[in-house]
Amino acid sequence: MLSLKSETPPDWVARIEPHMDEVLVDHAHCEKKAAGTAMNMIFSYVEHPQFVVPLTEVVEEELLHFRQVIELITARGGKLVGQPQSSYGRRLGALIRTAEPHKVVDRCCVAALIEARSCERFTLLRDHLGDRHLADFYGTLLESEARHHALYLRLAEHFADKGDIWSRLEHLAGEEAAIVADGDPIPRLHA
Ligand SMILES: [Fe+2]
Ligand SMILES: [Fe+2]
């Protein structure tokens, strides 16, 4: 159960497969950003240990994924380079309300949706990539991204009622589906 409001079209893997070197660079940045998101939440809510402690595990896992993707890029003869910010992350970030506790609920919901979309796409890559080595790698990442998705939604419950969280998640999931449908000029995991 991933809370997403749209399904990635089945031809998505075939479309990005010729660009996997670029997708891996984007993927590395995504893992780095995922670690940063969890770390930023630790900074913001450090006075709530039950909220913060599970996030330390997320930081560690995302940094491990970051390292693994860099190793893959290097093994393929590539190099991690900078890239323009994705409109996906920027537009989702802009939906986060500014006053607490709405802010923390939205930060958790947005993070949960990004994890869910990663999980959905990693599943497609595992099942349909022709490069079996790469497909197997995506298979190994699935479980932790699904777990992160569920964790962010659970963490939001430190600050709001379940009902409020779910109605906000419904709304943000609709926005996420619209944003992902707009795509991106460069091949990316979330475009
Ligand atoms: Fe990750
Ligand atoms: Fe994750």
Q: Where are the domains of the chain?
A: 13-182
93 CA to centre of ligand 1 in angstroms: 18
Nearest ligand (C-alpha, residue 116):
2
Question: Model-level pTM?
Answer: 0.96
152 CA to centre of ligand 2 in angstroms: 10
28 CA to centre of ligand 1 in angstroms: 9
160 CA to centre of ligand 2 in angstroms: 22
How many helices (H) and strands (E) would you count in the chain?
Answer: 7, 0
What protein residues have CB closer than 5 angstroms to ion ligand 2? 34, 115, 145, 148
153 CA to centre of ligand 2 in angstroms: 13
Residue 104's CB is within 10 A of a number of other CB atoms, namely: 21
106/93 Cα distance (integer angstroms): 9
Name the H helices within 76-184.
87-94, 102-128, 132-156, 162-182
- In 111-123, which positions are buried (b, 16+ CB within 10 angstroms) versus exposed (e)? bbbbbbbbbbbbb
40 CA to centre of ligand 1 in angstroms: 16
Nearest ligand (C-alpha, residue 38):
2
What protein residues have CB closer than 5 angstroms to ion ligand 1? 31, 62, 65
Residue 46's CB is within 10 A of a number of other CB atoms, namely: 10
36 CA to centre of ligand 1 in angstroms: 11
- Cβ contacts of residue 79 below 8 Å, gap of 6+? 73
Tell me, what's the pLDDT at 1? 58
pLDDT tens track, the chain, 191 positions: 578 999 999 899 999 999 999 999 999 999 999 999 999 999 999 999 999 999 999 999 999 999 999 999 999 999 999 999 899 999 999 999 999 999 999 999 999 999 999 999 999 999 999 999 999 999 999 999 999 999 999 999 999 999 999 999 999 999 999 999 998 888 899 88
Assign domain 13-182 to its CATH superfamily.
Answer: Ferritin, core subunit, four-helix bundle (1.20.1260.10)
Nearest ligand (C-alpha, residue 58):
2
